[in-house]
Amino acid sequence: MSKSKTYLGDSMKRSFLRSAWLCVLVASTASAFGTNTSTTPVDWVNTFVGTGSSMGPEYGGTMPVVSTPFGMTNWTAQTRQNRISVSSYEYHDQYIEGFIGTHQPAIWMGDYGYVTVMPETGGMNFAPENRRLPFTHKDEISTPYYYAVTMGSNANDRIKAEMTATDHAGYLRFTYPKGAKANVLIEITRPGIVGYVKFDPARHEIVGYNPDRMDANLGPMKLPNFRGYFVVRFKQPLLSHNVYSGTFSRPGQNELTDANVGAYVSFDTHQDNQVDVQVGTSFISIDQARANLDAEMPNWNFDGLRESLKNTWNQKLGIATIDGATDDQRHIFYSGLYHALLYPKLFSEHGRYYSAYDDKIHNGESYTAYSIWDIFRAENSLLTIFAPERIGGMVQALLQDFQEGGWMPKWPNPSYTNIMIGTHADSLVAEAINKGFKGFDYKLAYQAVYKDAMTPPDGDTTRLWLDREPYTPYEARAGLTYFKKLGYIPADKVSESASSTEEESYDDYAVAQVAKAVGKEDDYRFFMKRSLSYKNLFNSTRHFMQAKNSDGSWASPDDGWTEGDQWVYLYAALHDVPGVVKLMGGPQAASAELDEHFNGNHNRHDNEPSHHYGYLYDFAGEPWKTQARVREIANDAYSNTIDGVLGNEDCGQMSAWYIFTAMGFYPLNPASAEYVIGSPLFKSVTLHLPNGKVFSISAPNNSAKNVYVQSVTLNGKALDAPIITYADIEAGGELDFVMGPTPSHWASNWHPQPLQ
């Protein structure tokens, strides 16, 4: 998800940028991963992939965060003040102004309840532009489990900062020049944000809260009780302390409620020039932040925590082992997996959670930061393989949101934000059910998806429902009132009408799957029939989908789209690609149109609605074209560089596409629990599944030239259709490819039937 993304970019520009990045690698430390002799998966993660905006604001927007998988609070060096459309860290910046405990999930979303810690020497500087220190990447080490940097231009004032983390807490270690006056600043709120700070000398703690939610105006919830709480603890004895607001310290005060508040402490470095800081975070209370800190960091063992987090990442990333990949491909694969395993974010705290829907505290497990319009396509499917133990809780979290706020969310951050179209949480629920996941109430799930499908949002016919329109009720399926009457959403009444009609047809298919699972056969048939409504927008004269007005007339071909156009949205009916092929005039006509789509530079892999396009030739009787296209996209759109993600990372979705493609298959219709086959990138990928089974993907004669699939067997049995299932993977076994340099007719006789 982003705005105004470009296609694959100017090849000469990307080539120059990659060459420049390689020069940086040569000049940098091993942390930049120019070379790597390690065999552990986490050491192949390049946390800088996607952190550079060489091509303008449309870049990965990632940050080199230290975090547990799915951690509630991420920790990163802060090179700029983050906000909606600006991440805390940008690779080209030359100064660090703090180390932030952030909850910002993607560049296009804002942060909430954040806290910043900054070491200083000499006098105290409160403002970011005054406290910032210069740094270079050669003095930086960045991994998922440990970050270190040495800052400062004067050799006598250089400070080394180190970080590691747990689910809800960060551990920072600062090393100052011997004899220097060592200070630590805790910035709790920024200008204009009223927060609270208190120094507790008996506990050696600074506590406080930050009520800021940057995107609070993007949804209907006011949440007067929302706060990000902190407990900051120090190991070394304090020389002095104070609280501040704005740019003024408040001598003699230990407690303060004001805008732009924080605290600072000083230490004597003549005996010990190292300062250890632990920060517990919570959305429940200060006491809970302290409890999180006590549970996760019971002692001052930085090195032990770092090794524990390294082991955690190796265990998760090590589910996949690969062979036959270049060093760059190995970096791309594991860096992508790192990004994919950060989201959704844990939002519960040892059995309790704050609800950003009813503004109350509850018992249970909770998650947030589902970039659902993006991640329903592949990221969520990847988690069903790599983190199946989380899926039940993640779906249950969506259902809790439904119970507490009235709807499942579109893009929780942490509450409703009304960003993007459709109700694709329906897809997440249906996928979990069709893959056999438990841990949530199926009947409650059907109540939630049924409401999405049948209940229009408040004031549905009185609003255009513009993208990111502020101060509106929860959007749900905007224009559903018209859709139920006309069979489509009219362009003269509702913004993004054509995209919504098509994507919500897929959502109806997902709702049908849930209806079937709970025995609602009549509802199943109703929603399956309504899932064909996308056909109402097919202009048979033009052979494109096209928005319609409320009187049935065609709108402009340029109207009604969400981050795409008529080319991007021709095949948006993920559940009925054979139906679209039939509308196009059959496989031959569909293949010719796909050729024009790619050759005419209409594919937009930098944005999610195009992610399945490379795989569509499987449905047009020419799977060898799928094999060539997905290889081309994988090579062109991804790299082991700072701009190595084409477009925004979008909470793991961009990377999930690469990981699936590398394995040789992709969840084109995720709710179906099926995967369509492409062309594996490596000689082998072995999945050591969490259920104890092993699924091996083997292509021993694979190479840059041997792109084309000659034959495939699953557990020794010939596979004639380009389809495998989630059940096939989870059962363990072997998927074996024979690859070659020329196209074959393998699976070309597969012609699935349209939905009826």
pLDDT tens-digit series, residues 93-132: 999 999 999 999 999 999 999 999 999 998 889 999 999 9
Length of the chain: 756
Predicted pLDDT at 13: 34
Considering the chain, what is the average pLDDT of its residues?
93
Is the predicted pLDDT of residue 669 greater than 50, yes or no? yes
Q: Report angle CA 517, 519, 524 to the nearest 5 degrees.
A: 80
The HSE-up count of residue 113 (CA atoms within 13 Å, CB side) is: 29
Predicted pLDDT at 38: 61
The total of other beta-carbon atoms located within 10 Å of residue 682's CB is: 20
Is the predicted pLDDT of residue 720 greater than 80, yes or no? yes
The DSSP line for 398-444 is HHHHHHHHSS--SS-SSS----SSS-THHHHHHHHHHTT--SS-HHH
Return the closest-CA partner of residue 276 out of 231, 230, 236: 236
Tally: H helices and E strands in the chain: 18, 34
Distance CA 624, CA 618 (A): 8
Residue of higher predicted confidence among 445 and 57: 445
Describe the strand order of the beta sheet including 665-666 as a list of residue ranges: 665-666, 674-677, 723-725
> Coil, strand or helix: which one is 686?
strand
Give, for 258, the enclosing helix (H) or strand (E): strand 255-259
Ranges of each domain in the chain: 1-50+302-342+591-756, 63-300, 359-561
Residue range 448-466: average pLDDT?
97
pTM for this predicted structure: 0.95
Predicted pLDDT at 122: 87
Class of domain 1-50+302-342+591-756: alpha beta
**3 confidence band (pLDDT: 50, 70, 90):** very low
Distance CA 148, CA 173 (A): 9
**12 confidence band (pLDDT: 50, 70, 90):** very low
Predicted pLDDT at 37: 54
Distance CA 617, CA 384 (A): 26
Residue range 24-42: average pLDDT?
52
Distance CA 699, CA 738 (A): 6
Is the predicted pLDDT of residue 36 greater than 60, yes or no? no
Predicted pLDDT at 677: 98
Is the predicted pLDDT of residue 210 greater than 60, yes or no? yes
- As given in the structure block, the two tokens for residue 336 are 């992508």
Distance CA 59, CA 432 (A): 31
> Coil, strand or helix: which one is 367?
strand
Distance CA 49, CA 25 (A): 12
- As given in the structure block, the two tokens for residue 440 are 């949530």
**Measured between alpha carbons, how far is residue 754 from residues 528, 531, 532, 573, 576 in Å?**
12, 12, 10, 11, 6
Distance CA 35, CA 26 (A): 9
Class of domain 63-300: mainly beta
Is the predicted pLDDT of residue 165 greater than 70, yes or no? yes
Residue range 135-143: average pLDDT?
97
Predicted pLDDT at 436: 98
Residue range 392-410: average pLDDT?
98
Superfamily of domain 359-561: alpha-1,2-mannosidase (1.20.1050.60)
Residues 6 or more apart whose CB falls under 8 angstroms from that of 703 comprise 739
- As given in the structure block, the two tokens for residue 233 are 């603890």
Is the predicted pLDDT of residue 25 greater than 60, yes or no? no
The residue ranges of DSSP E strands in 84-193, in sequence order, are: 95-96, 98-102, 115-121, 133-134, 140-142, 147-151, 159-165, 169-175, 181-187
Q: Looking at 20-34, 204-218, 399-413, 655-669, which range is the least confident one?
A: 20-34
Predicted pLDDT at 21: 41
State pLDDT tens for residues 529-586: 999 999 999 999 999 999 999 999 999 999 999 999 999 999 999 999 999 999 999 9
Is the predicted pLDDT of residue 34 greater than 90, yes or no? no
State pLDDT tens for residues 172-199: 999 999 888 899 999 999 999 999 999 9
> Coil, strand or helix: which one is 376?
coil
**262 confidence band (pLDDT: 50, 70, 90):** very high
Q: Tokens 């990045």 sit at which residue?
A: 21
Distance CA 305, CA 309 (A): 6
Is the predicted pLDDT of residue 8 greater than 80, yes or no? no
Residues 6 or more apart whose CB falls under 8 angstroms from that of 607 comprise 1, 2, 5, 563, 564, 568, 647
Residue range 219-223: average pLDDT?
92
Predicted pLDDT at 56: 59
State pLDDT tens for residues 286-319: 999 999 999 999 999 999 999 999 999 999 999 9
Residue range 693-709: average pLDDT?
97
DSSP class of 272:
-
Is the predicted pLDDT of residue 484 greater than 60, yes or no? yes
Predicted pLDDT at 39: 81
Q: Looking at 20-29, 429-438, 507-516, 592-601, which range is the least confident one?
A: 20-29
Distance CA 332, CA 325 (A): 10
Q: Tokens 């789209």 sit at which residue?
A: 561
Residue range 260-277: average pLDDT?
92
Predicted pLDDT at 270: 79
Q: Looking at 110-114, 214-218, 709-713, which range is the least confident one?
A: 214-218
Distance CA 66, CA 78 (A): 12
